[in-house]
Amino acid sequence: MSARIRRAKKGDEKILAQMELACVLGTWRESSYASELDNVLSVYVIAEIDESPVGFAGDWCVAEEAQIMRVGVIPDCRKQGIGKQLIDALMDDARQKGCVTMTLEVKSQNAAAIALYERCGFQRVGKRSSYYADGSDALLMTSELIHDKKEESK
């Protein structure tokens, strides 16, 4: 299933916080997302089906590296390619900003997320032991952002 991907804007903090809860991602609240949407380094995108939000993702672009901060798809809409659409949108945005790599951390037990990231071209490059509050390890993953050949020749 294909979703419409749009860039999050000021006023979307409530939607993002609601999806955070629905996706059981963690503890970010509306105020967290308000700060993210005000941050010139961050970009958040929202996936919608029939104008209803079904997923979101966000990253920070600093110098030549983009760091994925959040990715979530509501449970009823998982395994439909929406997560990949969201990651692809972030990768495209990061490329346009001149980033050459994208990184992320993911719970080592989250097989579905790891499989998604690997489908998007990420490779495992390290581990952070006991990184999460529950004591879980984080896998570090990275992807090279290949730029269009025309851009490289300039």
Query: How far apart, in Å, are the Cα atoms of 55 and each of 16, 92, 119?
Result: 9, 17, 18
Catalytic residues: 105, 117
pLDDT in tens, 19-50: 999 988 888 999 999 999 999 999 999 999 99
Q: Annotate 72-110 with b (16+ C-beta within 10 A) or e (fewer).
A: bbbeebbebbbbebbbbbbbebbbeeebeebbbbbebee
Mean pLDDT along residues 14-20: 95
pLDDT in tens, 117-151: 999 999 999 999 999 888 999 999 999 997 554 44
Which stretch of 4-8, 41-45, 82-86, 146-150 has the lowest confidence by average pLDDT?
146-150
Q: What is the pLDDT of residue 132?
A: 87
Count up the domains in the chain and report the number: 1
What domain range includes position 36? 4-153
Residues 93-114 pLDDT 10s: 999 999 999 999 999 999 999 9
- How far apart, in Å, are the Cα atoms of 119 and each of 20, 33, 53, 81, 133? 23, 27, 23, 10, 27
| CATH number reported for the structural domain that contains residue 129 in this entry | 3.40.630.30
